[in-house]
Amino acid sequence: MTQDPAVSSRWRFILKQFSRRLWVRASAIGAIGVLAAVLAAVAERFVPFEIPGSIKADSVDTILNIIASSMLAVTTFSLSAMTSAYGSATSNVTPRATKLLIEDTVTQNVLSTFVGSFLYGIVGIVVLQTGAYGDRGRVILFVVTIGVIALIVFQLLRWIDHLTTLGRVGETTSRVEDAAARAIEARRQNPYLGGSPLPDRKGTDADGMTPVKAGAIGYVQHIDMQALSALAERIDGEIHLSVNPGAFVYHDSTIAYSTSVAAVPEDDIAPGDALRRAVTIGNERDFDQDPRFGLVVLSETAQRALSPAVNDPGTAIDVIGRATRLLSTWAEPIEEQEPKFTRVFIPALTADDLFEDAFMTIARDGAAQVEVQLRLQKSLSALSRLGGSDFRAAARRQAALALSRAEKALPIEADLKRLRDDLSD
């Protein structure tokens, strides 16, 4: 039986998402803490020399009690601060940005250290009370405990500094920009995810290609191009994807077309099932392969800031600047590369979609605020001088659309005149 080519890569994607969860890292460091306390009792058997000095059991027990009790309190406080920061980001930025805070490595490492230290203290006390530590074992335990204290102090100082920005609007928006920048740069370096550009198709089932339905409802989170290439080789044909990561699909949505299928052994995996397994569909969008998602989240942040309840045009102006930086990166020229997976074709990301994700809702919700419109027009004017013809045309279309909205919404003629005068300069 032929192995499903999508399995290995699909599991790698799942493991990557799994490793970003807080409890995974906390469990791993907690296990290290438990192991350190237990190994101190065993390590003395393998020490071939006498350790100078003597440590009383009561001395180590007192230190371990302090670590256990204080780390329990600090962990509880830190969890409270963390959930408060998540709530702040949800209310003041956008719920879609909270995922980046949850996956923050600094927060996860600090909390995991606190949990691991707590478990180390508890297990150390228990083993110490059993009398399992000899003279050399207590000295080893004492040395390890000093190391744990140094690690706790370092992480506490790091946590204090981190808490000053965690969940703040500016810091969270910077995280979104960084995630979007990574996705944009990755897609810019690999515009078709290693495949070939999808040719224009006149008909839905042109050239006798067989459509493959999604079979699920949700967002396309990940496309395994290597698995699709292996599948195309197996069926001796081509695969034409209809979707990019970030697309929302339904049960009957066509996610790909395949050319004529060669004979496949009866016990082999059906090509349609193998193709569906290579396209991961989930309930939420993911930043990694989806450059548009970062732009959408930034736009949502500006929308929240422009709402009457918040009334913070400064944040919207900041978001316009961030989106301009991201799109200017997309416009930079790059050397064309030969496709790695020549049998797999994928649609390109269009400049119109990127500009719409970044600016359309800001232009709509900030139509009545001249300061937002001025910055928006300046940014779009700058972008209209970059990139290729499609990129420049998309910038001009968004600028014209934003001006039309402003003409309908600006309350006084003086603001509209100022906007027009600025555009004519």
Q: What is the CATH number of the domain that holds 264?
A: 3.90.1170.30
Is 242 part of a structural domain of the chain?
yes
Same domain flag for 40 and 147: yes
Q: Pick the closest to residue 377 from 357, 404, 411, 354 (CA basis).
A: 404
Please write the tens of the pLDDT for every residue from 215-249. 899 999 999 998 898 888 888 888 999 999 999 99
Q: Is residue 275 part of a domain?
A: yes
Judge if 133 and 38 occupy the same domain: yes
160 lies in the same domain as 26: yes
For the entire predicted model, the pTM comes to: 0.84
Give the tens place of pLDDT for each residue, 189-216. 888 988 999 876 544 455 677 888 998 9
Confidence of residue 6 (pLDDT cuts 50, 70, 90): very low
**Structural domain contains residue 55:** yes
Rounded distance between C-alpha atoms, residue 25 and residue 31, angstroms = 10
Cross-strand bridge partners of residue 221: none
Range of the structural domain that residue 246 is part of: 196-282
Helix (H) or strand (E) segment spanning residue 416? helix 413-424
How far apart CA 33 and CA 115 sit, in angstroms, is: 9
End of a domain among 282, 304, 325? 282
Q: Is residue 25 located within the same domain as residue 159? A: yes
On whether residue 378 sits in a domain, the answer given is yes
Judgement on whether residues 275 and 293 belong to the same structural domain of the protein:
no
Q: SS3 for 219?
A: strand
B/e letters for 240-250, b = 16+ CB within 10 Å, e = fewer, are: bbbbbbbbebe
Whether residue 392 is found in the same domain as residue 328? yes
Range ranked top by mean pLDDT from 45-59, 88-102, 261-275: 88-102
Phi, psi of 209, deg, nearest 5: -75, 150
Q: CB within 8 A of 319, min separation 6: which ones?
A: 173, 298, 299, 301, 302, 305, 362
Whether residue 242 is found in the same domain as residue 312: no
Residue 95 resides in a domain: yes
Which of 243, 259, 282 is at the close of a domain?
A: 282
131 and 205 fall within a common domain: no
- Please report whether residue 356 resides in a domain: yes
Closest by CA position to 210, among listed 264, 261, 277, 249: 261
Using CB atoms within 10 A of its CB, is residue 119 exposed (0-12), middle (13-18) or buried (19+)? buried
What's residue 56's pLDDT?
63
In terms of domains, do 392 and 276 share one?
Answer: no
Domain count, the chain: 3
Q: Which of 224-233, 246-255, 258-267, 287-296 has the lowest mean pLDDT?
A: 258-267
Is residue 301 one of the residues assigned to a domain? yes
Question: pLDDT tens digit string along 322-367?
Answer: 999 999 999 998 887 888 898 999 999 999 999 999 999 999 999 9
User: At residue 193, what are phi and psi to the nearest 5 degrees?
Assistant: 55, 30
269 and 295 inside one domain: no
Tell me: do 89 and 106 sit in the same domain: yes
83 burial level (CB within 10 Å; 0-12, 13-18, 19+): exposed
Q: What residue ranges in 331-413 does DSSP mark as E strands? A: 344-346
- Report d(CA 375, CA 419) in Å as an integer: 10
H-state helical runs in 209-309:
225-235, 271-278, 291-306
Residues 161 and 210 in one domain: no
Residue 143 domain-assigned (yes or no): yes
Q: Which of 28, 39, 29, 38 is nearest to 122 (CA)?
A: 38
Q: Which of 248, 263, 282 is the last residue before a domain boundary? A: 282
Q: What is the pLDDT of residue 207?
A: 62
